[in-house]
Amino acid sequence: MGFNHFEGEIPLPPLSINTFYARNNTFTGDIPLSFCNRTSLTVLDLSYNNFTGPIPQCLNDFMIVKLRKNNLEGSLPDRFNVVWTTTLNWRGVAIGFGPGVLLGLAIAQVIASYKPEWLIKIMYQ
């Protein structure tokens, strides 16, 4: 239901689904407590709507909850506010560092071969 410009109060998802996306609409009102009764529902994304009122505490039991850009009161546990980040490890550093050093040496060699005064100027500025 995302990006459809639905408005008004949000409809409840069927009982059997486990993922419900309704982001980028103009839903209003409170988040219905009936979402708590959807035991198979584990992922809920209601971001970028116009929801107001308190965040139902039962949403803490969900696996993923996204509620950004609403006018809600309260907060969710920190585990829902994690931004996906990439871990930098030694392989990634080596992959970037090795070719970077080689390219830098190649450029320095070209400059030194054809315009040595440029190399001296760059090094002593």
C-alpha angle 47-51-52 in degrees, rounded to nearest 5: 135
- Retrieve residue 25's tokens: 């609409």
Quick one: pLDDT at residue 85? 47
Q: How many residues does the chain have?
A: 125
Quick one: pLDDT at residue 1? 57
| DSSP 3-state of 51 | strand
Q: What is the C-alpha separation between 23 and 46, in angstroms, rounded?
A: 5
Q: What is the C-alpha separation between 113 and 86, in angstroms, rounded?
A: 40
Quick one: pLDDT at residue 121? 79
| Torsional sign, CA 118, 119, 120, 125 | positive
Quick one: pLDDT at residue 87? 55
- pLDDT tens for the chain, 125 residues long, are 556 778 888 888 888 899 999 999 999 999 999 888 888 999 999 999 999 999 998 888 888 999 999 999 988 777 776 555 455 567 777 788 888 899 989 988 887 787 777 767 777 87
